[in-house]
Amino acid sequence: MVKVEVRCPKCSKRNKIEVLEEEVKNTTRGLYAVNVSEGIVCEHSFVAYLDKNLVVRDTFIADFQITLPDTPESQKEDEPKLTDNIDIDLIKINLTASTIAFILRAMLFKKKIIIISDKEFLGDHLLNLFKFVTSEAFDVDLSLIPMDQYNISNYGDHIAIKGIEIIKDDDKIIDPKKLKMERTITQAFLNEVDPKSSMLNLKKEIKQIYDLSSSIADIVNNLKKSEKLYSKTLIEKLKDSHNVKVQMPYLDYLIGVAEHYFNVKVPLSSNISNFLGTL
């Protein structure tokens, strides 16, 4: 056993945890995930990601209480032939969990995304990954640029991300403490050992978010003047059209996507949580 110092991403308290050195070095995926329970470092639970050199690459608040609805079997696509131009382990080793969550968040606001990194070898793999997982869903404008080539004035309205830091976000879209759904999706992606399953599951999650939020936008656009919606009505309509049972936290999230990506105002009569304040 070896001791590794970790920092809680929520309260910033530090302490050492014990890990099996052999297990970390022999991990078959990009990074080794350690679940840090409440009381070990602080009162929070979180996940620490270590590389094979026992270096902590990222710490991530665990949000397992959010359950995403399963895609019905009848709607699941056949596994496509995946090319060799996406190295998932390479992405998981060199990209932090926070960066992936930030990309997902920015995508929903149709923001140009700049990843600042000197690891140019990662560029094609990262772009190919997001091209694949969003091929039937959201449009993503994503670039990887070395630090010495980055100039804020050259890229117009964009969000710039460097590791776990937000370099530019004029509209304050990304709050690392309010990314519950993105963290849940990212954690599932990172914890999947098989590279193909990792990509396919991420694609299915993104496609489902797109389909359900798009349906909400269509429902709103077909409302009569002054007609309002109830959360229960939306849940029932989504169940009828997509055969999925949506819980309230996920519905809040989908409404936020509909409003910010599809540019509709959802006239819910219930006091639904504000998208920016709850995610």
pLDDT at 274: 44
Q: Rounded distance, CA 186 to CA 68, Å?
A: 12
- CB distance 251 to 234 below 8 Å: yes
* Residue 75 three-state SS: helix
Instruction: Give the number of other Cβ atoms within 10 Å of residue 194's Cβ.
Output: 12
Which residues make beta-bridge pairs with 15? 6
In the chain the first and final C-alpha atoms are separated, in Å, by 37
CA atoms within 13 A on the CB side of 194: 5
CA 223 to chain CA centroid, nearest Å: 31
- CB distance 90 to 30 below 8 Å: yes
- CB distance 138 to 210 below 8 Å: yes
How is residue 264 annotated by DSSP? -
Q: Tell me the pairing of strands 158-162 and 112-116.
A: parallel
Q: Rounded distance, CA 7 to CA 272, Å?
A: 34
Strands (E), the chain: 2-7, 14-19, 32-36, 46-50, 56-61, 112-116, 142-145, 158-162, 165-168
Taking the model in full, what pTM does it have? 0.79
The series of mean pLDDT values per 10 residues for the chain, 279 residues long, is 88 89 76 84 87 85 61 49 74 88 92 93 92 92 93 91 92 85 89 86 94 96 86 93 90 92 86 44
Q: Rounded distance, CA 140 to CA 130, Å?
A: 8
Q: Rounded distance, CA 279 to CA 273, Å?
A: 9
pLDDT at 278: 43
pLDDT at 81: 55
Residue with tokens 């590389």: 51
